[in-house]
Amino acid sequence: MNRNVILDPIHGYIEFDSLKSSLFDTPQMQRLRRIKQLGFSNLVYPGANHTRFEHSMGAMHLASLFLKIQREDGNQISAVSDYDGLDEIVVAALLHDIGHGPFSHATEKLIEQYTRKSHDDVRHILSESEVGDILKENGFKPSRIAEHIAGKTPVSQILSSEIDVDKMDYLARDMHYTGVTSGSVDYMRLLNHLEYFESKLVLDSGAIRAAEGLLVSRYWMNVSVYYHHVSRISETMCSRACAYLLENKIVRPHEFSRLDDMGLTAIMRADEGFAGEISSRLDNRNLYKRALYTGIESVGQSVFEHRQNVGRIEKEIAENAHIDPENVIIDIPSKPAMAEMRALVMDGSMKKLTDASLFVKELEHAQINNWKLGVFAPKEHLEAVSKAAYDFFEIETKPKTKQAALTDLLENED
């Protein structure tokens, strides 16, 4: 079979055959070249312009390495003993992000709300596109590939689980392009010490240190990139503008989900209302500012009950501040958690990573400091919105003096 290589800045040369080459050239895969992996994080880290296409190739490469290791070691993967198509998971790794919308996570919730499909539900894409035709021509069942991408098969754990090739690649890639150097992703050690045990993907004890390194990488990427306040503000602004486009039927949900970053930007720029204003602000980095930005210790666990009522709260705060509701944007992230901590380790007996590593156990508590409630507004309305937000969430306007958390000291100012 004819094989070619692509030079990747993370993994070096990535080998691919004619099947992968055909899939690369489909509109569905080429669209991923025009979707940034990190949304608007390039407003903080100018080098963060890498795309879902690059990441998809990296995930495919790591899945290939895992299967190569298994075969060379002569391992019988019990999780896939019911069929012969081990290469299915490699194809699934390549295609796993074709369901993502423009600007990645900035539009994810909206697409799920309006289409009732999550980004890993790609059955309709595989069945209605050139991708599906190519898969069938090469003896693959699109429905089976879709099951792997959705994480519904035992073998798909190497692509979708606590520690998988998806996370290994995007962490290494995001660190490279942002310049964040804390932690490490020793994916070769992880791949060599991952195996299926009773249909569960587990680490053996030889990979605990490597798993700790991956967790440190995830922790610092959360602190420095994924939950940076500029990233959160810009993504929330984009999400609100997209909600406006959908609510006013300027763009239809199905069309919206298939857009790339450039297509969405063009629609936003052409709008003469709220979406156009937000697009101009994003283009010129004229972002909303932090009227309130505080942690769980200030608002308590009950704040998560407000996640389903953000629109109502924005209107109430705007009313009390005597401004238009469009000038108030609230961001209430989900409860802080790192799924990697739930990875299973075979260390004499089966246990969670948090029980196998005291370091990871402590890191589990430290991640709570990353979480922040954000209320954002244009600079000219900041004082009024800040007072109304503090009143609504019943927070003291003058916080008690306390020792600064490490995450607070490291956080960049806008």
Check whether domain 229-336+370-410 has CATH 1.20.1250, yes or no: yes
**Measured between alpha carbons, how far is 16 from 93 in angstroms, rounded to an integer?**
13
This model's pTM is above 0.95: no
Query: pLDDT digits over 255-302, tens only?
Result: 999 999 999 999 999 999 999 999 999 999 999 999 999 999 999 999
Q: How many CB atoms lie within 10 A of CB 300?
A: 11
Whether 154 has a pLDDT exceeding 90, the answer reads no
CATH number for the domain formed by residue range(s) 3-227+338-367: 1.10.3210.10
Whether 81 has a pLDDT exceeding 60, the answer reads no
pLDDT at site 401: 40
List the one residue out of 153, 369, 383, 407 whose CA is nearest residue 161.
Answer: 153
Q: How many helices (H) and strands (E) does the chain have?
A: 21, 9
**SS3 call for 74:** coil
pLDDT at site 2: 60
CB 354 within 8 A of CB 361: yes
More confident residue, 100 or 342: 100
Mean of pLDDT values over 221-231? 93
**Size of the chain in residues:** 414
Q: How many CB atoms lie within 10 A of CB 53?
A: 18
Which whole-number Å values give the CA distances from 123 to 27, 30, 63, 336, in the listed order? 16, 18, 21, 30
**Measured between alpha carbons, how far is 227 from 319 in angstroms, rounded to an integer?**
28
Query: pLDDT digits over 397-406, tens only?
Result: 755 444 444 4
Domain ranges of the chain: 3-227+338-367, 229-336+370-410
pLDDT at site 398: 53
> What's the one-letter identity of residue 113?
Q
Whether 36 has a pLDDT exceeding 50, the answer reads yes
Whether 113 has a pLDDT exceeding 90, the answer reads yes
List the one residue out of 63, 134, 123 whose CA is nearest residue 98.
Answer: 123
pLDDT at site 336: 78
**Measured between alpha carbons, how far is 279 from 275 in angstroms, rounded to an integer?**
6
